[in-house]
């Protein structure tokens, strides 16, 4: 690729660096988990082919006519993809962009194509910045991208210089230091602007855009009003952080269940809720005060914590115990029976923060006074069952044989499920007609959904109202951040049963996962990654004006505590240094700007001034031997514009002998003779002869 005169090491360095830019941009987008498999396959295939072509393992030569035909064919396929394949304009557009990018990767040959590839790499990184809200992996890919970008632009400067046509061996370019200086300034400005845009502007503004443009697949399923058996198991294969929790009481790890959705009806394969009116709870001044019917009926303790939901989570809020006061920045919440709170649709999935003051009851402590009984209709709803395998009621009778009351029956069913069945995350390879019966009598292993569903159904067969709860199990505490991280793999289902005299009581029939303990190295690595994610969230995405003011206030308080000068009196501190900077800051900035400008443009200005002074001396006839060098350099620059360069190891006379054009050789011989007469013979009239040769070359 490129001219055949380009040294192979320069060409390969440039192309590998460009490939690194493209790969890091593609992986940054891929790490957001927002690409579907066609886009991921197209991008990976294009990068792989390009890598093989760069290494010389394969050679693909597509004629321009074929390339244009493929592009036009895909443009014709675009409306078909939009309407019948993807069903989405956004997905179809992504497919088209990745197809054209892969095509350009394979067919790129020259400088213009390389420019297109650089633009594609930059756009990939911009897309990753928009999609990477709350993910510090983007920071890693930006660092890698910048490394390859610097290598690509610097080697590209050498590449362009080496690829330019010339009839002789090349010497060092006189303008190379200046061009490299401009390139360094350009890279610095580009890195600064890209850093500001990708780390400050895009992550903050992407939330609103994604709320409007983001496809439904970007939302974490499993916590809606309908959950099919197997959905929670799919979630548990995902290790993405979905929630961070911090205790205001400095308790560190909170070994609690984070309660989300409550599901009451079962049709054999799916738990769901009937359509019912939801109560709108208004948020006054960012705070909701709730009446807690559980408070006082049992012993327990208070919990005060802050929860931060990931943007990929659903619109459900998750609580430990029973919330009494919620502080959240939304105008209202939707409340449904069972204690489920959801945010309005336009606020869901944007990454919510809320603080909770709640009560965590000890459900097996002594009951202080009995709660009100369930209403008849609600009790009937919690006892409804679909048509069941006849073996299930018999199994319930066997499990509860000898139990004298509802408490003992519920405990017996929970104990049998935990003891007689095993845990696995392996999903069913093929669907079965009755997944619950298959779990209880054939497979006898599964994940939490099957255990919770089985216990709820078995409880209902013996007359105990029950419901299935979906949420998260505890999580893990990160001592580096002080936050408890809850991942999608912590998704969990359990059961709440209504026990007369005790009210709603939690049961968890799922046995422990035998493969839950991972390696210490991977656990520590996940903590470091979570720490980086938290820093990204705290100092980039969520670092708004209010937090800046709070930081400035803490700095002022710290300066007073340690008796540092107050920020308010900075001009009067340090012997007037603040006043000096305030008064002369603009002047110092101007001086710094002028100095930087001179470092970049100074050599060109100096040469222009020397040539102007020399022209005046020539006009006055005041020539000096040193002027011979200036005139001869001007003569060589004119030859360079015509593709002829004088190597530094050739003398002027040797240079004349290697010229192949008779006309140029004659002019060069005349210029060399005039140069020697003026430079070494001190003959001032030789300047006119050399000037005449320069004029002849300019007229060629």
Spatial separation of the C-alpha atoms in residues 677 and 671, rounded to whole Å = 10
Look at residues 532, 558, 589 and tell me which one is the last residue of a structural domain: 532
Q: pLDDT tens digits for 570-599?
A: 444 444 444 444 455 456 556 666 666 665
pLDDT for residue 557: 60
Which residues neighbour 279 within 8 Å (Cβ) at sequence distance 6 or greater? 334, 335, 336
Residues 279 and 160 in one domain: no
Q: What angle do CA 187, 191, 195 make, to 5 degrees?
A: 175
% of the chain at pLDDT higher than 70 = 70
Residues 100 and 19 in one domain: yes
Residues 327 and 212 in one domain: no
More confident residue, 672 or 223: 672
Residues 353 and 461 in one domain: yes
287 bridge partner residues = 284, 327
Chain mean pLDDT for the chain: 77
Residue 668 in this model has a pLDDT that exceeds 90: no
Q: pLDDT tens digits for 26-44?
A: 888 888 777 778 888 888 8
% of the chain at pLDDT higher than 90 = 20
Q: pLDDT tens digits for 166-200?
A: 444 344 444 555 555 566 667 666 666 666 555 55
Domain membership flag for residue 603: no
Domain membership flag for residue 553: no
Which residues neighbour 642 within 8 Å (Cβ) at sequence distance 6 or greater? 700
323 bridge partner residues = 358
Instruction: Supply the pTM of this predicted model.
Output: 0.58
Counting the structural domains of the chain, the total is 3
Instruction: Indicate the range of 517-526, 635-644, 648-657 predicted with least confidence.
Output: 517-526
Q: For residue 135, give the nearest of 242, 232, 4 by alpha carbon.
A: 242
Instruction: Indicate the range of 138-152, 220-234, 335-349 predicted with least confidence.
Output: 220-234
Exposure string of 263-296, with b = 16+ CB inside 10 Å and e = fewer, is bbbbebbbbebeeeeeeeeeeeeeebebebebee
> Of the ranges 563-567, 590-594, 670-674, which is most confident?
670-674
Burial of 60 (0-12, 13-18, 19+ CB in 10 A): exposed
Domain range enclosing 628:
623-699
3-state secondary structure of 303: strand
Look at residues 216, 243, 267 and tell me which one is the last residue of a structural domain: 216
Residues 278 and 359 in one domain: yes
Look at residues 511, 532, 553 and tell me which one is the last residue of a structural domain: 532
CA distances from 101 to 65, 116, 384, 493 (A): 17, 9, 56, 44
Residues 177 and 302 in one domain: no
Domain membership flag for residue 575: no
Spatial separation of the C-alpha atoms in residues 157 and 176, rounded to whole Å = 9
Residues 70 and 176 in one domain: yes
The H or E element that residue 340 is part of is strand 340-342
The model's confidence at residue 600, banded by pLDDT at 50, 70 and 90, is low
Residues 470 and 528 in one domain: yes
pLDDT for residue 258: 94
pLDDT for residue 235: 78
Residue 652 in this model has a pLDDT that exceeds 50: yes
Residues 253 and 181 in one domain: no
572 bridge partner residues = none
pLDDT for residue 103: 84
Domain membership flag for residue 601: no
Residues 163 and 292 in one domain: no
Q: Which tokens sit at 27? A: 């992986």
pLDDT for residue 163: 56
Q: For residue 362, give the nearest of 307, 322, 409 by alpha carbon.
A: 322
Residue whose entry in the numeric block shows the structure tokens 């979630």: 235
Q: pLDDT tens digits for 457-468?
A: 999 999 999 999
Residues 210 and 232 in one domain: no
């Amino acid at each position: 690729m490129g001219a055949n005169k380009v040294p192979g090491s320069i060409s390969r360095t440039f192309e590998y660096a460009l490939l690194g830019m493209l790969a890091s941009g593609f992986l940054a987008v891929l790490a957001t988990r927002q690409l579907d498999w066609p886009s991921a396959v197209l991008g990976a295939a294009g990068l792989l082919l390009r890598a093989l072509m760069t290494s010389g393992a394969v050679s693909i030569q597509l004629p321009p006519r074929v390339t244009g035909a493929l592009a036009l064919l895909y443009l014709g396929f675009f409306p078909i993809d939009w309407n019948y394949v993807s069903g989405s304009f956004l997905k179809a557009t992504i497919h088209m962009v990745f197809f054209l990018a892969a095509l350009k990767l394979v067919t790129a040959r020259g400088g213009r194509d390389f420019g297109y590839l650089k633009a594609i790499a930059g756009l990939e990184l911009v897309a990753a910045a928009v999609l990477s809200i709350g993910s510090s992996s983007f920071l890693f890919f930006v660092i890698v991208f910048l490394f390859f970008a610097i290598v690509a632009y610097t080697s590209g400067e050498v590449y362009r210089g080496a690829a330019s046509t010339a009839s002789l061996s090349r010497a060092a370019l006189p303008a190379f230091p200046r061009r490299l200086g401009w390139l360094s300034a350009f890279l610095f400005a580009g890195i600064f602007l890209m850093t500001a845009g990708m780390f400050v502007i895009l992550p903050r503004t992407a939330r609103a855009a994604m709320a409007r443009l983001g496809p439904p697949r970007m939302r974490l399923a499993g916590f809606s009003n309908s959950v099919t058996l197997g959905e929670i198991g799919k979630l548990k294969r995902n290790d993405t952080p979905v929630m961070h929790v911090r205790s205001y009481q400095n308790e560190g790890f909170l070994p609690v269940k984070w309660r989300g959705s409550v599901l009451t009806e079962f049709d054999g394969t799916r738990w769901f809720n009937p359509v019912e009116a939801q109560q709108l709870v208004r948020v006054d001044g960012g705070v909701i005060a709730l009446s807690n019917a559980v408070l006082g009926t049992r012993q327990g303790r208070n919990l005060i914590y802050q929860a931060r939901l990931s943007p990929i989570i659903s619109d459900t809020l998750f609580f430990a115990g029973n919330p009494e006061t919620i502080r959240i920045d939304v105008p209202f919440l939707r409340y449904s029976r069972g204690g489920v709170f959801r945010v309005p649709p336009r606020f869901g999935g944007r990454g919510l923060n809320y603080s909770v003051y709640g009560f965590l009851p000890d459900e097996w402590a002594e009951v202080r006074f009995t709660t009100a009984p369930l209403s008849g209709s609600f009790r009937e709803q919690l006892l409804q069952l679909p048509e069941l395998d006849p073996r299930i009621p018999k199994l319930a009778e066997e499990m509860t044989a000898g139990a004298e009351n509802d408490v003992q029956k519920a405990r017996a069913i929970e104990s049998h499920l935990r003891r007689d069945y095993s845990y696995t995350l392996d999903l069913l390879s093929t669907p079965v007609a009755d997944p619950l019966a298959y779990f209880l009598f054939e497979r006898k292993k599964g994940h939490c959904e099957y255990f919770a569903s089985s216990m709820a159904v078995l409880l209902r067969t013996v007359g105990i109202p029950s419901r299935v709860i979906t949420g998260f199990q505890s999580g893990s505490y990160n001592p580096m951040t002080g936050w408890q991280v809850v991942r999608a793999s912590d998704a969990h289902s359990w059961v709440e049963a209504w026990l007369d005299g005790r009210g709603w009581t939690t049961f968890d029939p799922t046995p422990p996962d035998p493969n839950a303990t991972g390696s210490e190295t991977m656990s520590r690595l996940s903590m470091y990654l979570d720490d980086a994610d938290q820093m990204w969230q705290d100092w980039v995405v969520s670092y708004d004006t209010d937090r800046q003011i709070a930081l400035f206030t803490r700095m002022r308080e710290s300066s007073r505590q340690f008796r540092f000068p107050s920020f308010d009196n900075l001009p009067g501190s340090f012997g007037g240094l603040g006043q000096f900077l305030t008064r002369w800051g603009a002047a110092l900035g101007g001086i710094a700007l002028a100095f930087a400008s001179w470092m970049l443009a100074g050599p060109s200005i100096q040469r222009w001034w020397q040539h102007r002074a020399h022209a005046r001396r020539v006009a006055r006839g005041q020539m000096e031997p040193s002027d011979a060098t200036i005139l001869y350099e001007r003569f060589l620059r004119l030859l360079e514009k015509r593709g002829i360069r004088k190597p530094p190891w050739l003398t002027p006379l040797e240079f004349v002998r290697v010229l192949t054009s008779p006309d140029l050789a004659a002019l060069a011989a005349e210029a060399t003779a005039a140069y020697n007469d003026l430079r070494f013979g001190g003959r001032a009239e030789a300047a006119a002869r050399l000037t005449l040769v320069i004029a002849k070359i300019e007229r060629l």
